[in-house]
């Protein structure tokens, strides 16, 4: 399993490798020069109302988690430990709302591969704590840090809260490891937020092409990467899509807190919000749906934008039917999970094939499964 996770990390790192999706060859729709779509207005909306607020909200939550853990380190109290877990849940949820934006500042510090490689390597975590000597920057520790590792430290595997608190109070190394994980995450998060709130926003909103390296090119690729990530890592792998139909419940995201389904739903909402240019509070602005509608792209007798909007609705409906925890559902209610998976595949075809080909965007990453 560790080899597979490391391979996945390399796939994340190679997102800038050009891979042209040739499933459907279509000519890019040519805009009427007298009615040019305002791409900068779309980028300004997505930057100011989707990306930057999401990162800033995540930073506040992560800072709060770090602060309450400092209090717990001193007090060793049950009440402070419960507060740490509460703040952890908030921070992990807030992270789900900015995970898609692995471009520019986030790509430069590899947020995704440092914050959320799952399942976490509990053996490596224990080894690091026991020795008290580790380098969080090496690849062998990518799945022994970030939110999945912190989740394991705070919740354990069928371990009582009293015993977990005791494991912290009796181990200076365990407290230090947790502190180091949080410190690394805070450093990277602060860097990303600072860049978005200053220089990178200007770069982002003024990149108006659709070529490789443009803001629109990055966004389309990240929309699809995140949907592939949802379909494969968050749903498909636990369901058994990579293991000849044999479910792998232990591969679920947030396995120890049983929040896999919630985070999958948050991921799909993030993808939809970014596509629509809709803020986390529900305010809708200029997005890719408007861009496609402006170009009057047809699909099966209607508009491609309408087809994509409808498929988002269907995919969300099917995903909302999946019970929690996902680790149980893939064993006892696999058909419902599979129904959600199927609708995610249909959505991916629209977003990864039909939308990019009509916008003149090249898909520059490989998902490894050919979808």
367 located within any domain: no
58 located within any domain: yes
Per-residue confidence band for 34, with pLDDT thresholds at 50, 70 and 90: very low
The structural domain count of the chain equals 1
Are 350 and 304 spatial neighbours (Cβ–Cβ below 8 Å)?
yes
Q: pLDDT at position 364, please?
A: 92
Query: What pTM was estimated for this model as a whole?
Result: 0.90
**What DSSP letter does each residue of 184-244 carry, written as one string?**
HHHHHHHHHHHHHTTHHHHHHHT----STTSHHHHHHHHHHHHHHHIIIIIIIHHHTTTTT
On average, the pLDDT of the chain sits at 92
Residue 133's Cβ-side half-sphere holds a number of Cα atoms within 13 Å equal to: 1
User: Stretch 327-345: mean pLDDT, rounded?
Assistant: 98
Q: pLDDT at position 366, please?
A: 73
369 located within any domain: no
Are 274 and 46 spatial neighbours (Cβ–Cβ below 8 Å)?
yes
Whose tokens are 């390296």? That residue is 213
146 located within any domain: yes
Domain containing 191 equals 21-359
Q: pLDDT at position 365, please?
A: 84
Rounded to an integer, what distance in angstroms lies between the CA atom of residue 215 and that of residue 64? 31
Q: pLDDT at position 175, please?
A: 98
Q: Is the model's pLDDT at 149 over the cut of 80? A: yes
User: Stretch 142-146: mean pLDDT, rounded?
Assistant: 98
Are 55 and 201 spatial neighbours (Cβ–Cβ below 8 Å)?
no
Q: Is the model's pLDDT at 107 over the cut of 90? A: yes
pLDDT tens digits, 42-54? 999 999 999 999 9
User: Stretch 177-203: mean pLDDT, rounded?
Assistant: 97
The DSSP 8-state label assigned to residue 278 in this structure reads: B
Q: pLDDT at position 30, please?
A: 52
Q: pLDDT at position 340, please?
A: 98
Q: pLDDT at position 31, please?
A: 52
Q: What is the CATH number of the domain that holds 271?
A: 1.20.1420.20
User: Stretch 54-58: mean pLDDT, rounded?
Assistant: 98
Q: Is the model's pLDDT at 166 over the cut of 60? A: yes
235 located within any domain: yes
Q: Is the model's pLDDT at 189 over the cut of 80? A: yes
365 located within any domain: no
pLDDT tens digits, 257-273? 999 999 999 999 999 99
User: Stretch 49-62: mean pLDDT, rounded?
Assistant: 98
Per-residue confidence band for 304, with pLDDT thresholds at 50, 70 and 90: very high
pLDDT tens digits, 81-92? 999 999 999 999
Q: pLDDT at position 131, please?
A: 98
124 located within any domain: yes
Per-residue confidence band for 312, with pLDDT thresholds at 50, 70 and 90: very high
7 located within any domain: no
């Amino acid at each position: 399993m560790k080899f597979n996770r490391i391979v996945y990390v390399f796939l994340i790192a190679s997102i800038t490798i050009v891979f042209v999706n040739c499933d459907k060859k279509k000519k890019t729709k040519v805009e009427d020069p007298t009615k040019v779509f305002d791409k900068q207005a779309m980028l300004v909306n997505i930057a100011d109302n989707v990306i930057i607020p999401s990162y800033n909200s995540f930073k506040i939550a992560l800072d709060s988690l770090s602060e309450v853990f400092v209090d717990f380190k001193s007090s060793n109290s049950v009440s402070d430990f419960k507060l740490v877990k509460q703040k952890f849940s908030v921070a992990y949820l807030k992270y789900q709302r900015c995970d898609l934006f692995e471009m520019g500042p986030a790509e430069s510090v590899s947020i995704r591969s440092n914050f959320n490689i799952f399942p976490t390597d509990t053996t490596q975590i224990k080894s690091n704590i026991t020795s008290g000597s580790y380098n969080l920057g090496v690849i062998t520790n990518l799945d022994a840090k970030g939110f999945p590792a912190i989740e394991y430290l705070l919740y354990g595997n069928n371990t009582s809260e009293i015993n977990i608190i005791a494991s912290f109070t009796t181990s200076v190394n365990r407290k230090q490891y947790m502190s180091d994980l949080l410190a690394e995450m805070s450093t990277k998060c602060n860097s990303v937020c600072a860049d978005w709130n200053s220089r990178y926003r200007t770069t982002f909103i003024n990149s108006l092409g659709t070529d490789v390296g443009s803001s629109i090119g990055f966004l389309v690729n990240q929309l699809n990467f995140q949907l592939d990530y949802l379909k494969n890592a968050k749903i498909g792998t636990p369901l058994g899509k990579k293991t000849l139909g044999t479910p792998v419940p232990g591969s679920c995201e947030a396995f120890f807190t049983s929040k896999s389904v919630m985070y999958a739903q948050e991921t799909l909402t993030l993808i939809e919000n970014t596509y629509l240019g809709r803020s986390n509070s529900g305010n809708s602005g200029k997005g890719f749906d408007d861009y496609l509608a402006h170009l009057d792209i047809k699909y099966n007798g209607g508009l491609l934008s309408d087809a994509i909007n409808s498929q988002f609705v269907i995919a969300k409906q099917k995903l909302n039917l999946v019970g929690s925890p996902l680790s149980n559902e893939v064993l006892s209610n696999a058909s419902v999970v599979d129904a959600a998976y199927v609708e995610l595949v249909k959505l991916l075809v629209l977003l990864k094939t039909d939308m990019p080909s009509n916008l003149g965007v090249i898909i520059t990453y490989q998902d490894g499964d050919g979808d």
